[in-house]
């Protein structure tokens, strides 16, 4: 069961990396793939902590930081859609800010 969980979390991680590197046109797809990667890392941390019998304090801190990262990405997405009308990276220019 331990090997299956590690294999599953690594498969999720590498598929998230693949989506992150191939779907760079929309900001929403980039943010969703980052959350997918964070979820796979959380699963991997939980599996290792269960296997070694450690305390579950670190995953709570990890989840707090991942929620803050998601909220910050969502606020950037909303700000970009309000100012530019879409979430394409091609329409986003630093000279317009």
pLDDT for the residue 72? 94
d(CA 86, CA 96): 15
Q: Residue 13: its pLDDT value, please?
A: 94
User: Domains (ranges, CATH) in the chain?
Assistant: 26-89 (1.10.287.3510)
Distances (CA, A) of 58 to 2, 26, 49: 20, 32, 9
**What global pTM score does this model have?**
0.82
Residue 16 class from Cβ within 10 Å (0-12 exposed, 13-18 middle, 19+ buried)? Answer: buried
pLDDT over 70, % of the chain = 93
The stretches of 1-97 forming alpha helices (DSSP H) are: 2-22, 27-52, 57-84
Q: Dump pLDDT digits (tens) for 54-85.
A: 888 889 999 999 999 999 999 988 988 888 78
Q: Is the pLDDT of residue 97 over 60?
A: no
């Amino acid at each position: 069961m331990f090997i299956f969980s590690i294999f599953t979390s690594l498969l999720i991680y590498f598929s998230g990396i693949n989506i992150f590197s191939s779907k760079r046109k929309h900001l929403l797809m980039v943010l969703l793939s980052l959350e997918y990667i964070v979820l796979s890392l959380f699963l991997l941390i939980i599996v290792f902590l269960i296997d070694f019998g450690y305390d579950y304090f670190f995953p709570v801190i990890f989840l707090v930081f991942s929620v803050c990262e998601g909220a910050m990405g969502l606020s950037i997405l909303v700000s970009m859609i309000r100012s530019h009308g879409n979430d394409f990276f091609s329409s986003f220019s630093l000279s317009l800010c």
